[in-house]
Structure 1
Amino acid sequence: MTDTPPANQPAGYVPAKVWQPKSNPAGTFGSINSPVSGARFDQALPVGRHPLQLYSQGTPNGQKITILLEELLAAGHEGAEYDAWLIDIFKGDQFGSGFVGLNPNSKIPALVDRSTDPVTQVFESGSILVHLAERFGAFLPAEGRARTETFNWLMWQVGSAPFVGGGLGHFYGYAPFKIEYAIDRYAMETKRQLHVLDTHLASHEFLAGDQYTIADMAVWPWYPGSLYGVYDTHEFLAVEEYRHLLRWYEAIAARPAVARGRVINRTSGAPGTVLRERHDASDFDALIPAPL
């Protein structure tokens, strides 16, 4: 490559023959991003008293798991009691030796299930959802078309969300400068995904049909949750025009377990929306304003 594109950003940039990382990378996560994996410091993970130990942050991927856990408890599954420990990804907690030993990919969420012998370690949000749903026999149809449909939409979300978070969310909200081409590319794809969901939900109560499943819990924090919340792109993308998607979104938002699950392991937000860690159901009492 010898000619620089006329609208190149930054001006004059031409990719090197062999890429090398910058000594001072820019962007929100620039100081913690690295081209190699592995632990960067020694730090053991804390362990609470419950069978399930969750290590996470209240991002859309983290919310999937705490929503399911709260739904399981609401459905009467006492064995789903859990400790939710905060892994602050903005501070680099995910690179501690304990967390890397649990998830070599250094991404939240990760789960330790101490009710099994031997202990089960699970990482990747989709895998954790399936593990818990199968462990308790809930929110995942046992057989037939509904089970397949649940997996269809769960896998769709796992494969599609990077276009929203790492794509639109990054270039619209986190990149050190705006790149029209990148924002247009990912806005186009995010709009297409919203239309996929809106079209499907025009004739289905939930993603897998008439059953509320882990597929709904996986998609809900992202579409349109992340667009209202962490990336603040709802106006930019005209999210309000997807009325069938919003019907579904608001119905799930009204569930008490979802209202609890969405606030856990948050590090910022309005009063009543942040519960940094959850170790007992009574922890939610701190979110309720005291009577005058």
Structure 2
Amino acid sequence: MIDLYFWPTPNGQKISIALEELGLAYNVHMININENEQFAPDFLAIAPNNRIPAIVDHDGTDGPVSLFESGAILHYLAAKTGALMPEDAHGQKTVMEWLMWQMGGFGPMLGQAHHFNFYAKEKLPYAIKRYSAEANRLYGVLDNQLAGKDFVAGDELSIADIAIFPWTRTHARQNVEIENYPNVAAWRIRMIERPAVLRGMKTGAGWRAEIKEMDDPEWRAAFGVQA
């Protein structure tokens, strides 16, 4: 059994999607970041960077093992199960490149674009222009990578797709017009049509007002899937 310490953000949803795709049993422990629960001593013992997600795998090789940082968790789950990662060295290299690309750029820059375009009370034109431009550049990079491919690293779903995908739900708030990136748009549809992906995205949805009332067609519509 895996304990998932979670809040319904893109980083949290990476892990719920992976667990659903892998068919691993897990319990969700909500860490309400709006109430600063990520600073509680018990959580910090698992996640010293006071950020979700984190897991405790009670079926580790040598007993319970805890992990923090979403990329590290995804890599651990792939290694544990032998799934969501190619068997050949070149394929593994490609998956890890795109996992690191998401961790180092796509997630952080889209987070900034989302913040300054949508959440910031003071609208700062310089910040909006800077991060919106970088968000669009990164979507262009992803669009090029997906040309002629079903998934980011090739023909099969991998942890790279799972890491990247949740960040695309709020593309409009990132000042990104998804139709400008047709390969990304098609890939998003392939992703959300996977039942495990949809289940993972909906984990904890009731805790966020903007998504708690969304039914399955509305979730699919959010990713460009026509009813």
TM-score between the two structures when normalised by the length of structure 2 = 0.89
Confirm or deny that 1:158 pairs with 2:103: yes
The 2-side partners of 1:203 and 1:189 are apart by 24
- Residue aligning to 1:251: 190
Shifted more, 98-107 versus 172-181: the winner is 172-181
Distance in 2 (alpha carbons) for counterparts of 1:123 and 1:270: 26
Residues 93-113 of structure 1 show CA distances to partners (whole Å, capped at 9, x for unaligned) of 101111011111000000001
Q: What CA distance in whole angstroms lies between the structure 1 residues aligned with 2:202 and 2:115?
A: 22
* Structure 2 residue corresponding to 1:193, chosen from 119, 138, 142: 138
Deviations 1:7-40 (A, max 9, x none): xxxxxxxxxxxxxxxxxxxxxxxxxxxxxxxxxx
Aligned-partner Cα distance in 2 for 1:87–1:270: 17
8 Å CA contact retained: 2:47, 2:54: yes
Which runs of 5 or more structure 1 residues have no equivalent in the other structure? 1-50, 74-79, 275-292
Identity between Structure 1 and Structure 2 (%): 39
Q: Which residue number corresponds to residue 52 of structure 2?
A: 108
Paired with 1:241 and 1:143, the residues of 2 have a C-alpha distance of 33
1:54 and 2:4 are equivalent in the alignment:
yes
Residue 221 of structure 2 corresponds to: none
Q: Give 1:203 shift.
A: 2.2
Partner of 1:98: 42
* Structure of larger gyration radius: 1
* Cα deviation code 1:70-101 (max 9, x no counterpart): 0111xxxxxx2010111111111101111011
What is the count of residue pairs matched by the alignment?
211
The 1:210–1:131 alpha-carbon spacing in structure 2 relative to 1, beyond 3 Å, is same
Is contact 1:253–1:259 with CA below 8 Å preserved after alignment? yes
Deviations 1:227-253 (A, max 9, x none): 25xxx34xx322221111000010110
1:272 shift after superposition: 4.8
Q: Is the 8 A contact 1:85 1:265 kept in 2?
A: no
Distance 1:68 1:273, change over 3 A: farther
Is structure 2 residue 81 aligned with structure 1 residue 136?
Answer: yes
Instruction: Please give the root-mean-square deviation of Cα atoms over the aligned residues, in Å.
Output: 1.5
Cross-structure match for 2:219:
none
1:173 and 1:159 mapped to 2: Cα distance?
22
After superposition, residues 125-274 of structure 1 pair within 5 angstroms as: 125-160=70-105, 161-165=107-111, 167-222=112-167, 224-228=168-172, 232-233=173-174, 236-266=175-205, 267-268=207-208, 269-272=211-214
> Does the CA-based 8 Å contact 2:152-2:161 persist in structure 1?
yes
